[in-house]
Structure 1
């Protein structure tokens, strides 16, 4: 196996980050599209003021998440071929983290909106709180705990998938 240069490492980091953002982008765009159509549905006029306020929080959070998760593409266009990949990766990491935070708010607000519409408010608040805890467990808690398990696979502390030949023993 050859040693990766710093330039190659930054390129790999950027490629890995873009793959992660593609997953997040799809989810937030589907949620955003749903939220955009909701006021035009027949049942929306029956929504309470609390539900409408919750809807606005979910909508704005989904819009913010979409903007942040897509922004590395615009940043890449602005810095294209300027040799500033480290800056791009750091920026993309920061906005991806912010985008996930807004996505969490949008998801929990959406759950609150729907559960408050069909269930008593107390039950809706409990279910929404559990939803938020569930997301935080998998998005923050487990990754934070995982950072101390074993030795890092490379100098960055980021694991890599083994080459195909290593997996099949060739």
Structure 2
């Protein structure tokens, strides 16, 4: 039988956190981030978020592009054709905004501008998400205009977009406000 090292056998109460004056509480005690660590963490988070959003928007955009080449597309009324153009333009704009952080990073890499890169990337991500929500709304409306009557389609799109608003904006902003109050 081998002996465990002292670090592995000591209990959690035998050490104190380097940034605290007492033993750690039930909450995880971490040392404060340096500015560089914070920027690196934020950049890595943006990259992960971008990967998720890009996949979804690229699949949706590919679907939209293929619609124009289906036989049923020729039968669309003027409103639906205009809606299709708006949808494709919103989808392309969403792709551009969600891929922009990669381009910004590539052009500014090595120039010691990570703070600006992270800030710009975050703004493009937010813009891309708004454009993605618009693309999804227009796509739903286009499909539901073909499948149902327009009133039912518009009602369904309204309900779905309300849900998107709650999930993507209301809850995160509410949590942010709660966090700020806790920090005061």
Place the TM-score, normalised by the shorter chain, in its bin.
Answer: 0.7 to 0.9
- 2:99 is matched with 70
**Structure 1 residue 103: deviation in Å?**
0.4
1:140 aligns with 2:140: no
- Structure 1 residue ranges without an equivalent (≥5): 156-170
TM, length-normalised to structure 1 = 0.86
1:96 correspondence with 2:125 = yes
Mapping for residues 144-163 of structure 1, pairs under 5 Å = 144-149=173-178
1:159: which partner in 2? none
Q: Which residue of 1 aligns with 2:16?
A: none
Which whole-Å CA distance do the structure 1 matches of 2:116 and 2:48 have between them?
A: 18
Aligned to 1:116: 145
1:32-74 Cα distance to aligned partner (Å, 9 max, x none): 0000110101111111111111111110000000000001101
TM-score, with structure 2 as normaliser: 0.79
After superposition, what is the alpha-carbon deviation per residue over 1:86-122, rounded to whole angstroms, capped at 9, x for unaligned? 0000000111111011101100000000000010011
- Which residue number corresponds to residue 71 of structure 2? 42
- Tell me the C-alpha RMSD between the 2 structures: 1.6
CA radius of gyration, larger in = 2
2:58 is matched with 29
Runs of 4+ in 1 over 6 A off after TM superposition: none
| Contiguous gaps of at least 5 residues in structure 2 | 1-29
* Count of residues in Structure 1 that have an aligned counterpart in Structure 2: 154
C-alpha distance in structure 1 between counterparts of 2:167 and 2:96, whole Å: 23
Question: Per-residue deviation at 1:149?
Answer: 3.0
User: How far apart, in 2, do the equivalents of 1:119 and 1:29 lie?
Assistant: 26
More deviation, 1-10/39-48: 1-10
